[in-house]
């Protein structure tokens, strides 16, 4: 039966229980009061966190009843008896589809694993230029977002249940008036988009409603890059960098390994140049706040953001760019040496700057790259993939609102009520002086609560569409499942404005591409494009960009206000807050701070000392007339006077997971200085706030756990990872080890092993989320993390070396080592963890009684225990997300990395059916598959020709804690650094 329909038309029909409960809910005084309160007058009641949370909790609870039977089934005719089995669907066999997920509007090609019509796992699409087969933490986590039970499930009018037909009626009625007034008074806000189809819709909308205004809102957008290019070349070009060709790279606070539409590709190419096969590249990073890119640097200079412009200017000057001399530029000697190094690599270097810096700085960097002759070799310019024609900004919108010109506000997939700059007071402004407000969004969020209409948006995995990758390649978006909660896409809403209310998104997209690439073979082309996930030949050609007069490229060098400097940065995991309700991302330790479930004010050790505060002490930040209270987290390597505030927290209407997590940095963020600004005042409050971190100890205690050497030393002593002691004692044993080691020596059967390359691991966390998705790893929540019970099967240890002001940061992923002499197995009283013939250290969940002795005896502490029932919530749609190939563990049993044994077994079955051995590369664990830099290699050690065998033959190969003679199957390749001799000790 058909819940969607029931939801829309038939309150007393099939979904009775669900309706009853909602009506009961509607009877409660609190809810009545909320409704009675006319939005404009008492909007505050909506934002009251407690009340809002309670409301959403009830809402979620009652709606969950409807969820299970309803999900995925939208039209009655879709229910078919299984006697007519869908074509080529084999029960139990997953199918794989190519599609794209979006980040900041840019396409990211993925392959979705689907079990019986149920998407369960996302992998990178090898055919996609922005993925190359890898997927980042956001893409991996989007599968959880799809099944989020807190997603908006019904069309709301003034907070009451309404229906698509009512909404349609209202829109069509309004459309008449707008047409009559050429769209005057109609203002549309969208997120950044690269979709050619959407662009085309906006174009034609602009033709029929020339007075309609369109705004792009991205709280952490990339407009500085475009404006910089406009300043430098007169056109909003985008820069494509080829790190594979770069010998010397200077990043001015550009976290290119972690963020940005091309970060996976950049990371892949960058990592390729860290391997000794070719001469190592050298990375300089100047940044105010630690990033994973900074952690990879051979030389990292902590520097306040406000200084970076001047540093770029000084650098440009020293490279012969015609530009005014920078006044009081910092670290002149450092700059001089870096400049020399860059000069020595003319045409083989890259200078880049982050999106948080004003256009002038970007222009200077363009000039520098030009001066270094990098343009055309390592740096190319292409037209902006993002559609920006006639795009206006939120500031312009609020001016328009003040001007009373805004009659209707159409907010498509944006949440300005939460993430608009504080000085705009957007929520109040909109509520007070916009008569009609319509919101399309995944969640009934802060903005939805202030709109007359709210329409659930279809998740990207539920919808049809298209989008461009960083290089312009058009990527297709096809639904993996019918909208779980009857969501609609922006394309469908715009179709209404274009007078085609009945038109589906699919029709819109195909029609558009028929018009673009129409022809005899369109049908076959289209299906091929869908199959591969990309439309051939849509990548942009590099354009000739001529640099304007560099005289004008002068960064704002006004004397900065004294006091501290505040930096506003998107959170590495929940980003701008739109992902706040994603438990995986909330619990994923931030790469540097290892914090979960919270944001903090990152301060340098010196500053903390000066303020007399320590971790978890709450401080008050005063900036630009606003105040904010945040717990302190001391970040080694933070620029002395810089204080980082991560955005994306303090949501009030994100859902049961994201509500009330952390504090919203937007409350402090003015539109005048969206990224950084000086004049911040800090004051200790004496209060404290508990923070949940997964790593309490930051240095290695002088233990040689994470081995590294400079390339020079490596050349002199390739086997530097090995002490004579190791060499002498290796393999000594009192008794002969039976299988599997013997089998391995004799080279029979499979002997699985893994190698993790510390040299190319950038600590991006993608593997952690991938593992969580593949292996049904639960989320335990902040308190449990504080208790030390996080469940991640692979963790990334982060160690600091050297001074707290300018530390060297190292990452070390630690999964189960699958020791051949496993200490954990020896002590299990019931034989619940034993060794397989192929060398896997296996966990038999059903046999485990939970003594936890194995974890105590594991020197790597990679075992995870279900201290409580962490998988209790089997309500739909959460349960649908689980990977059917992996047991869902219940309370009281131990678990840990299995080398993705389910994938090994699938490969074995396939191989045995075909009567052949398992091929090298046929088994790829989730972590290895999603790693952007291919730092994780897995395979059969007995196959001498396999990649893993070759990797383990590398002289840098070493085992963690080898002296314990556990004989781990997982080993590491030591890290290499390439310091500039001229900067030794700097």
Phi, psi (degrees; rounded to nearest 5) at 223: -65, -30
The structure tokens 């402090």 sit at: 668
Q: Which of 234, 435, 788, 802 binds other proteins (CB under 8 A)?
A: 788
Pick the closer one to other proteins by CB: 217 or 795: 795
Instruction: Give the rounded distance of the alpha carbon of 600 from its chain centre.
Output: 19
Q: Counting contacts by CB under 8 A, is residue 828 touching other proteins?
A: yes
Q: Counting contacts by CB under 8 A, is residue 69 touching other proteins?
A: no
Q: Counting contacts by CB under 8 A, is residue 204 touching other proteins?
A: no
Specify whether the backbone of 681 is left (phi greater than 0), alpha (psi in -120 to 50) or beta: beta
Q: How far is the CB of 968 from other proteins (least distance, A)?
A: 12
Rounded CA separation 582/522 (Å): 39
Q: How far is the CB of 610 from other proteins (least distance, A)?
A: 26
Give the binding-site size for other proteins (rule: CB under 8 A).
71
Q: Counting contacts by CB under 8 A, is residue 726 touching other proteins?
A: no
Q: How far is the CB of 970 from other proteins (least distance, A)?
A: 14
Pick the closer one to other proteins by CB: 167 or 865: 865
Degrees, nearest 5: CA angle 256-262-267:
55
From the list 17-25, 49-57, 289-297, 847-855, the region that binds other proteins by CB under 8 A is 847-855
Q: How far is the CB of 889 from other proteins (least distance, A)?
A: 10
Q: Which of 108, 263, 468, 835 binds other proteins (CB under 8 A)?
A: 835
Pick the closer one to other proteins by CB: 268 or 967: 967
Instruction: Select from 793, 782, 769 the least CA-distant residue to 584.
Output: 769
Q: Which of 860, 899, 938, 958 binds other proteins (CB under 8 A)?
A: 860
Three-state SS letters, 783-824: HHHHCCCCCCCCEEEEEEECCCCCCEEEEEEECCCCCCCCHH
Q: Counting contacts by CB under 8 A, is residue 775 touching other proteins?
A: no
Q: Which of 559, 697, 728, 916 binds other proteins (CB under 8 A)?
A: 697
Instruction: Select from 144, 173, 138, 221 the least CA-distant residue to 414.
Output: 221
Q: How far is the CB of 926 from other proteins (least distance, A)?
A: 21
Q: How far is the CB of 852 from other proteins (least distance, A)?
A: 4
Q: Counting contacts by CB under 8 A, is residue 701 touching other proteins?
A: yes
Q: How far is the CB of 820 from other proteins (least distance, A)?
A: 5
From the list 105-113, 338-346, 380-388, 814-822, the region that binds other proteins by CB under 8 A is 814-822
Longest alpha-carbon distance in the chain:
92
Supply 842's token pair. Answer: 């296996």
Rounded CA separation 629/401 (Å): 31
Q: Counting contacts by CB under 8 A, is residue 322 touching other proteins?
A: no
> Hey, which residues between 606 and 665 contact other proteins (CB under 8 A)?
none
Supply 360's token pair. Answer: 């002038």
Instruction: Select from 817, 694, 813 the least CA-distant residue to 760.
Output: 813
Cα distance from N-terminal residue to C-terminal residue, the chain: 69
Q: Counting contacts by CB under 8 A, is residue 116 touching other proteins?
A: no
Instruction: Give the rounded distance of the alpha carbon of 680 from its chain centre.
Output: 29
DSSP 8-state secondary structure symbol assigned to residue 652: S
SS3 content of the chain, % helix, strand, coil (to 5): 35, 20, 45
Cβ contacts of 310 within 8 Å, gap of 6 or more: 326, 327, 328, 329, 330, 555, 557
Instruction: Select from 390, 306, 789, 809 the least CA-distant residue to 559.
Output: 306
Helices in 149-248 by DSSP H: which ranges? 164-180, 196-208, 223-233
Helix (H) or strand (E) holding 905: helix 901-913
Q: Counting contacts by CB under 8 A, is residue 771 touching other proteins?
A: no
Rounded CA separation 627/647 (Å): 15
Q: Are 806 and 699 in contact (CB under 8 A)?
A: no
> Hey, which residues between 741 and 770 contact other proteins (CB under 8 A)?
741
From the list 7-15, 39-47, 497-505, 831-839, the region that binds other proteins by CB under 8 A is 831-839
Q: Which of 619, 814, 936, 959 binds other proteins (CB under 8 A)?
A: 814
Rounded CA separation 343/336 (Å): 10
Q: How far is the CB of 949 from other proteins (least distance, A)?
A: 21
Q: Counting contacts by CB under 8 A, is residue 866 touching other proteins?
A: yes
Q: Which of 37, 58, 395, 739 binds other proteins (CB under 8 A)?
A: 739
Count of other CB atoms within 10 angstroms of residue 35: 12
> Hey, which residues between 884 and 943 contact other proteins (CB under 8 A)?
891-894
Q: Which of 857, 875, 887, 980 binds other proteins (CB under 8 A)?
A: 857
Q: Counting contacts by CB under 8 A, is residue 82 touching other proteins?
A: no
Write each residue from 955 to 974 as x if it is in contact with other proteins (CB under 8 A), else as -, in one continuous string.
Answer: ------x--x--x-------
Count of other CB atoms within 10 angstroms of residue 13: 14
Q: Which of 670, 679, 749, 823 binds other proteins (CB under 8 A)?
A: 823
Q: Counting contacts by CB under 8 A, is residue 737 touching other proteins?
A: yes
Q: Counting contacts by CB under 8 A, is residue 859 touching other proteins?
A: yes
Q: How far is the CB of 537 from other proteins (least distance, A)?
A: 48
Q: Which of 50, 715, 837, 909 binds other proteins (CB under 8 A)?
A: 837
Q: Counting contacts by CB under 8 A, is residue 824 touching other proteins?
A: yes
Q: Which 3 state secondary structure label does DSSP give 17?
A: helix
Q: How far is the CB of 62 from other proteins (least distance, A)?
A: 26
Rounded CA separation 654/447 (Å): 11
Q: Which of 852, 908, 919, 950 binds other proteins (CB under 8 A)?
A: 852
820: Cα within 13 Å, side-chain hemisphere: 25
Q: How far is the CB of 868 from other proteins (least distance, A)?
A: 4
Q: Counting contacts by CB under 8 A, is residue 829 touching other proteins?
A: yes
Rounded CA separation 300/510 (Å): 49
Q: Are 385 and 285 in contact (CB under 8 A)?
A: no
> Hey, which residues between 789 and 808 contact other proteins (CB under 8 A)?
789, 795, 797-799
> Hey, which residues between 131 and 170 contact other proteins (CB under 8 A)?
none
Pick the closer one to other proteins by CB: 215 or 860: 860
Q: How far is the CB of 455 from other proteins (least distance, A)?
A: 42
Q: Counting contacts by CB under 8 A, is residue 821 touching other proteins?
A: yes
Q: Which of 75, 610, 715, 868 binds other proteins (CB under 8 A)?
A: 868
Cβ contacts of 949 within 8 Å, gap of 6 or more: 939, 940, 941, 943
Helix (H) or strand (E) holding 770: helix 766-774
Q: Counting contacts by CB under 8 A, is residue 820 touching other proteins?
A: yes
> Hey, which residues between 367 and 396 contact other proteins (CB under 8 A)?
none
Write each residue from 206 to 245 as x if it is in contact with other proteins (CB under 8 A), else as -, in one continuous string.
Answer: ----------------------------------------
Q: Counting contacts by CB under 8 A, is residue 874 touching other proteins?
A: no
Rounded CA separation 269/244 (Å): 5
Q: Which of 500, 685, 834, 906 binds other proteins (CB under 8 A)?
A: 834
Q: Which 3 state secondary structure label does DSSP give 598?
A: coil
Q: Counting contacts by CB under 8 A, is residue 708 touching other proteins?
A: no
Q: Which of 78, 725, 748, 869 binds other proteins (CB under 8 A)?
A: 869
Pick the closer one to other proteins by CB: 241 or 967: 967
DSSP 8-state secondary structure symbol assigned to residue 855: H
From the list 346-354, 652-660, 862-870, 876-884, the region that binds other proteins by CB under 8 A is 862-870
Handedness of CA 951, 957, 960, 962 (dihedral sign): positive
Q: How far is the CB of 922 from other proteins (least distance, A)?
A: 25
Rounded CA separation 883/871 (Å): 13
Degrees, nearest 5: CA angle 869-833-694:
50
Q: How far is the CB of 867 from other proteins (least distance, A)?
A: 3
């Amino acid at each position: 039966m058909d819940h969607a329909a029931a939801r829309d038309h038939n309150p007393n029909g099939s979904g009775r229980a669900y309706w009853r409960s909602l009506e009961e809910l509607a009877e409660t005084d609190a809810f009545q009061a909320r409704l009675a309160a006319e939005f404009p007058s008492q909007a505050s009641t909506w934002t009251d966190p407690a009340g809002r949370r309670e409301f959403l909790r009830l809402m979620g609870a009652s709606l969950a009843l409807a969820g299970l039977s309803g999900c995925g089934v939208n039209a009655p005719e879709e229910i078919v008896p299984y006697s007519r089995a869908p074509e080529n669907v084999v029960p139990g066999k997953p199918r794989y589809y190519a599609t794209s997920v979006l980040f900041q509007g840019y396409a990211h090609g993925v392959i979705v694993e689907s079990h019986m019509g149920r998407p369960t796992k996302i992998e990178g699409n090898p055919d996609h230029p922005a993925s190359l087969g890898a997927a980042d933490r956001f893409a991996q986590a989007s599968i959880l977002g799809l099944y989020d039970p807190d997603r908006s499930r019904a069309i709301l009018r003034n907070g009451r249940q309404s229906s698509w037909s009512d909404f349609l009626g209202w829109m069509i009625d309004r459309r008449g008036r707008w047409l009559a007034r050429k769209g005057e008074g109609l203002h549309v806000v969208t997120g950044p988009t690269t979709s050619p189809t959407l662009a085309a819709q906006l174009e034609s909308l602009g033709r029929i409603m020339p007075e309609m205004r369109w705004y792009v809102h991205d709280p952490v957008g990339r407009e500085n890059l475009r404006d910089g290019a406009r300043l430098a070349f007169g056109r909003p070009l985008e820069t494509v960098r080829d790190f594979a060709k770069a010998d010397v790279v200077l990043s001015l606070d550009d976290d290119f390994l972690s963020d940005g539409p091309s970060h996976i590709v950049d990371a892949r190419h960058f990592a390729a140049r860290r391997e000794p096969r070719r001469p190592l590249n050298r990375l300089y990073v100047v940044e105010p706040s630690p990033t994973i890119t900074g952690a990879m640097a051979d030389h990292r200079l902590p520097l306040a953001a406000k200084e970076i412009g001047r540093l770029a200017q000084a650098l440009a000057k020293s490279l012969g760019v015609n530009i005014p001399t920078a006044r009081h530029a910092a670290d002149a000697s450092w700059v001089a040496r870096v400049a020399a190094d860059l000069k020595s690599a003319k045409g083989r270097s890259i200078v880049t700057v982050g999106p948080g810096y004003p256009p002038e700085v970007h222009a200077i960097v363009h000039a520098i790259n030009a001066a270094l002759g990098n343009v055309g070799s390592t740096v190319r310019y292409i037209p902006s993939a993002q559609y920006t024609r006639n795009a206006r900004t939120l500031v312009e919108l609020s001016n328009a609102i003040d001007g009373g010109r805004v009659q209707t506000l159409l907010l498509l997939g944006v949440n300005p009520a939460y993430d608009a700059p504080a000085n705009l007071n957007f929520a109040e402004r909109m509520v007070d002086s916009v008569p009609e407000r319509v919101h399309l969004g995944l969640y009934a969020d802060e903005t939805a609560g202030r709109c007359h209409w709210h329409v659930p948006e279809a998740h990207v995995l539920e919808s049809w569409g298209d989008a461009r990758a960083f290089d312009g390649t058009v990527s297709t978006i096809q639904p993996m499942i019918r909208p779980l909660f009857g969501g609609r896409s922006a394309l469908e809403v715009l179709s209404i404005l274009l007078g085609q209310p009945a038109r589906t998104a699919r029709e819109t997209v195909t029609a558009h591409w028929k018009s673009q690439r129409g022809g005899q073979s369109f049908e076959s082309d289209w299906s091929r494009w869908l199959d591969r996930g990309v439309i051939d030949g849509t990548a942009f050609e590099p354009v000739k960009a001529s640099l304007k007069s560099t005289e004008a490229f002068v960064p704002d060098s006004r004397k900065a206000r004294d006091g501290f400097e505040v930096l506003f940065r998107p959170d590495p995991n929940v980003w701008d807050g739109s992902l706040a309700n994603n438990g995986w991302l909330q619990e994923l330790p931030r790469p540097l701070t290892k914090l979960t479930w919270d944001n903090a004010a990152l301060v340098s050790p010196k500053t903390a000392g000066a303020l007399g505060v320590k971790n978890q002490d709450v401080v008050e930040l005063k900036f630009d007339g606003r105040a904010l209270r945040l717990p302190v987290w001391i970040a080694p390597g933070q620029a002395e006077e810089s204080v980082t505030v991560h955005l994306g927290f303090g949501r009030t209407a994100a859902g049961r997971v994201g509500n009330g997590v952390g504090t919203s940095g937007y409350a402090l963020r003015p539109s005048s200085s969206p990224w950084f600004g000086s004049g911040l005042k800090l004051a200790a409050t004496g209060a404290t706030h508990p923070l949940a971190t997964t790593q309490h100890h930051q240095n290695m205690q002088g233990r040689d756990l994470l081995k590294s050497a400079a390339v020079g030393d490596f050349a002199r002593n390739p086997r530097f990872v090995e002490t004579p002691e190791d060499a002498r004692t290796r393999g000594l044993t009192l008794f002969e080890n039976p299988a599997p080691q013997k089998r391995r020596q004799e080279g029979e059967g499979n002997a699985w092993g893994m190698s993790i390359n510390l040299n190319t691991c950038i600590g991006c966390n993608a593997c952690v989320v991938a593992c969580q998705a593949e292996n049904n790893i639960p989320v335990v929540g902040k308190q449990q993390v504080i208790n030390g019970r996080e469940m991640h099967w692979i963790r990334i240890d982060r160690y600091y070396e050297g001074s707290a002001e300018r530390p060297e940061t190292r990452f070390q992923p630690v999964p189960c080592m699958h020791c051949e002499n496993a200490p954990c197995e020896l002590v299990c009283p019931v034989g619940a963890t034993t060794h397989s013939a192929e060398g896997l250290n296996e966990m038999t969940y059903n046999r485990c009684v939970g003594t936890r002795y194995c974890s105590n005896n594991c020197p790597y502490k990679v075992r995870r225990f279900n201290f409580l029932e962490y998988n209790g919530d089997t309500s739909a749609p959460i349960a649908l997300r689980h990977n059917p190939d992996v047991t869902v563990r219940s309370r009281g049993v131990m678990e840990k990395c299995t080398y993705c044994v389910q994938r090994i077994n699938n490969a074995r079955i396939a191989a045995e059916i075909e009567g052949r051995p398992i091929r090298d590369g046929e088994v790829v664990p989730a972590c290895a598959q999603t790693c952007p830099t291919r730092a994780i290699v897995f395979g059969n050690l007995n196959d001498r020709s396999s990649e893993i065998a070759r990797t383990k033959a590398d002289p840098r190969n070493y085992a963690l804690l080898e002296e314990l003679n556990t004989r781990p199957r997982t080993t590491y390749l030591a890290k290499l650094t390439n310091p500039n001799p001229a900067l030794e000790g700097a």
